């Protein structure tokens, strides 16, 4: 039996009560009880990690009203502003600049409401000369050097620039940044791909990368459980099937 009183306490603590669902109280109650009675009370993820996951889910979904709610909740839970910004920056190679730009508008507005000085301290670690090698090194750590070298070597001439962009931009410009460690960055990438749907090949690769960098099967399952109310059951079940496939269970 779920604890509905605890669900209401959690909802009241971490949400600015708005009027969006004032004409749909029954639906609001169903979802409040499910998200905060079932999902939030399942497993042992910290509240801080749950909110980072949901910031990424709602950035990927481009559900900006809900994103604002979870940024506020994360700040109330003392999630460092650098981590909030970095998980959103991390989305860029996977969902594109436009969605991230609009998500950052929401995040910056919330941070100003909480009197957080902007811009935040730079987390940049590479330059024009080092971004390729630094990104390539992280790729090799997560996916294996032989696999990454083969991807570059075997790419047709007209596609070699894409392999370079993966190393330089996706991994060099973003994965090398301070503020989040590699395990969290890979976990958030898993969240993005599961949320997007239709990215099964990439999701397989990043489930494997998560295992390689030290994120457990159990953590991946708990993470996708946290995502479920926001991504629906089809994408949740697809992600779980891929976790099972990659981890051979």
In a domain, 12, yes or no: yes
Q: Is 70 exceeded by the pLDDT of residue 41? A: yes
pLDDT at 16: 58
Domain that holds residue 144: 129-177
The verdict on residue 141 lying in a domain is: yes
Question: Which residue, among 224, 234, 239, has the nearest Cα to 57 in the 3D structure?
Answer: 224
Give yes or no for residue 17 having a pLDDT over 90. no
| Cα–Cα distance measured from residue 170 to residue 166, given in angstroms and rounded to the nearest whole number | 5
**Does a structural domain hold residue 164?**
yes
pLDDT at residue 10 greater than cutoff 90 = no
In a domain, 208, yes or no: no
140 inside domain: yes
Q: How many domains does the chain have?
A: 2
Percent of the chain with pLDDT over 90: 85
Establish if 17 belongs to a structural domain: yes
pLDDT digits (tens, 9 = 90+) for 152-211: 999 999 999 999 999 999 999 999 999 999 999 999 999 999 999 999 999 999 999 999
Mean pLDDT over the full length of the chain: 94
Query: Is 117 inside a domain boundary?
Result: no
Give this prediction's pTM. 0.95
54 part of a folded domain:
no
Q: What is the DSSP string of 212-223?
A: HHT--HHHHHHH
Torsion of CA 188, 194, 199, 200, to 10 degrees: 110
């Amino acid at each position: 039996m779920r604890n509905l009183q605890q669900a209401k306490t959690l909802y009241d603590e971490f949400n600015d009560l708005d009027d969006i669902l004032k004409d749909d109280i029954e639906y609001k109650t169903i979802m409040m009880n499910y998200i905060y009675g079932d999902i939030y009370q399942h497993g042992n993820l910290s509240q801080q990690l749950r909110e980072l996951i949901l910031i990424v889910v709602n950035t990927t979904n481009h559900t900006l009203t809900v994103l604002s709610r979870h940024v506020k909740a994360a700040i109330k839970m003392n999630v460092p502003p650098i981590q909030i910004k970095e998980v959103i920056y991390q989305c860029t190679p996977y969902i594109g600049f436009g969605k991230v730009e609009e998500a950052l508008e929401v995040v910056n507005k919330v941070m100003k409401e909480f009197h957080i000085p902007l811009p935040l301290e730079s987390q940049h670690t590479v330059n024009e000369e080092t971004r390729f090698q630094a990104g390539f090194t992280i790729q090799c750590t997560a996916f294996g050097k032989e696999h990454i070298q083969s991807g570059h070597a075997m790419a047709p001439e007209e596609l070699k620039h894409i392999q370079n962009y993966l190393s330089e931009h996706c991994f060099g410009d973003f994965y090398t940044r301070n503020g989040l460690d590699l395990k969290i960055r890979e976990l958030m990438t898993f969240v993005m791909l599961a949320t997007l749907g239709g990215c099964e090949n990439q999701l397989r690769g990043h489930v494997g990368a998560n295992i390689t960098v030290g994120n457990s099967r159990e953590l991946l399952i708990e993470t996708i459980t946290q995502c479920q109310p926001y991504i629906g059951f089809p994408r949740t079940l697809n992600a779980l099937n891929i976790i099972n496939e990659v981890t051979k269970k």
